[in-house]
Amino acid sequence: MQHTVSIFWFRRDLRLDDNAALYHALKSNNNVLPIFIFDTNILDKLDQKNDARVSFLHHTICSLQDKLVKENTSLIVLNTTPVEAFRLLLKNYKVDKVYTNKDYEGYAINRDNEIKAYLQQHGIELICFKDHVIFEEKEVVKDDGLPYTIFTPYSRKWKAKLDDFYSKSYPSEKYLDNFYKHDAKPIPTLNELGFEQNTDIEIPNLTVNELIISKYTQQRDFPAINGTSKLGIHLRFGTISVRKLLQLALTLNETFVNELIWRDFYHAITFNFPHINDGKSFRKEYDLIAWRNNEVEFDAWCNGKTGYPIVDAGMRELNATGFMHNRVRMIVASFLCKHLLIDWRWGEAYFAKKLLDFDFAANNGGWQWAAGSGCDAAPYFRVFNPTLQTQKFDKELKYIKKWIPELNSFSYPKPIVVHEEARKRCLLTYAMALKK
């Protein structure tokens, strides 16, 4: 007779410690079968076969497998669609319940609804927990129950609501003996998944640098300084616990805590205003803007050849490393939308392709902020002046010269637009659209 198991489905939570749904699964009545699905619905859309994020994900799954094998269990790793994966699992195992942690993006919500319905047909419950954020969905709302669309009052309510209950860790690592015991199962190779190892881009390590966090307020805006945590990819894939990071940040630096609140805020926006998942502006009237969408200028922006050094340095950093400094992200995004009048969705898609720490909620929120179309956005008449931004944040040009060695040579391009002319054109174009 088949042994009854509960399944734990790893997704954006690739760790054994302080894992909410894993904790509840391991404390349930059944032994727990851990699974991971390389979702072909997602992977098939990736253009680059040496995508560094897939290399990182594969490496992380292999590391997780090594830890699980020491506990006399094994991941079941499937390379297919989620529905097909569960069809195969139900053929081979007697499953009582499926545990997983929530995801708040449009595709994830639709996927989970589909899986929930499929499992219900077989008398199996899908049980989901909050793990990826501190506060989710409608946990932080206005007094009238409506979701916040402005960050500052949201953050005030967030801080007022925070207590030990919300920030405490789940000691899932204490119950690893409750995994279903079976022999190690093979994990598909990268080649079998249709990808190649990326050896060009270095993944930031998982070490939490307390000194960087403690000096975050003073250093975070200066791209030449190693002043940001670079933990984005680890938060994205859950190789680090957001609760443990918050516990540390609360003792070290409030500005860093605010960054974690921004993260919750954008996930709440994504959940509560699902039209943004479909490529729509948060403020619908901004979809009336007559973008120029000049492909030659877009190509110059993508390749760091606009003639604006701070913009070009940022884009070259992104292309070479999969990372871009946060202050510079704002500058390059503003330049694309405001100076070049190129649709923010073009920039959003380019970042989605290149950023190691790509996360739909934060990426969409940041781009709509820059374009003026988002919640709590910069007003449309605020147009970053790249020269002034350079003087404020890279005065000695250390960051710029690192990425643009030809800065003072004839081979460096002339500016593709004149700042003041581009600014006037932007204000006129936006004003015409928003009057309608």
Q: Is 7 helix (H, G, I), strand (E, B) or coil?
A: strand
Question: What is the rounded CA–CA span in Å between residue 96 and residue 123?
Answer: 8
Q: Hey, which residues does 101 pair with through a beta bridge?
A: 129
Query: What residues contact residue 205 under an 8 Å CB cut-off, 6+ apart?
Result: none
Cβ atoms of residues 56 and 88 within 8 Å? no
The single-letter code of the amino acid at 117 is A
Q: Is 323 helix (H, G, I), strand (E, B) or coil?
A: coil
Question: What is the rounded CA–CA span in Å between residue 280 and residue 258?
Answer: 27
DSSP state of 272: H
Cβ atoms of residues 306 and 335 within 8 Å? yes
**CA-to-CA dists, residue 400 to 202, 327, 347, 416, angstroms:** 20, 13, 21, 18
What tokens appear for 96 in the block?
A: 């009582």
DSSP state of 374: S
What tokens appear for 266 in the block?
A: 């954008």
Cβ atoms of residues 362 and 263 within 8 Å? yes
List, as one string, the DSSP characters of 115-164.
Answer: HHHHHHHTT-EEEEE--SSSS-TTSSB-TTSPBP-SHHHHHHHHHHH--H
Catalytic residue set: 259, 262, 291, 326, 344, 367
Structural Rg of the chain based on CA atoms: 23
In sign, the C-alpha dihedral spanning 391, 392, 398, 403 is negative
What tokens appear for 207 in the block?
A: 């070490």
- Other residues' Cβ atoms within 10 Å of the Cβ of residue 349: 14
Question: What is the rounded CA–CA span in Å between residue 86 and residue 83?
Answer: 5
- Other residues' Cβ atoms within 10 Å of the Cβ of residue 226: 10
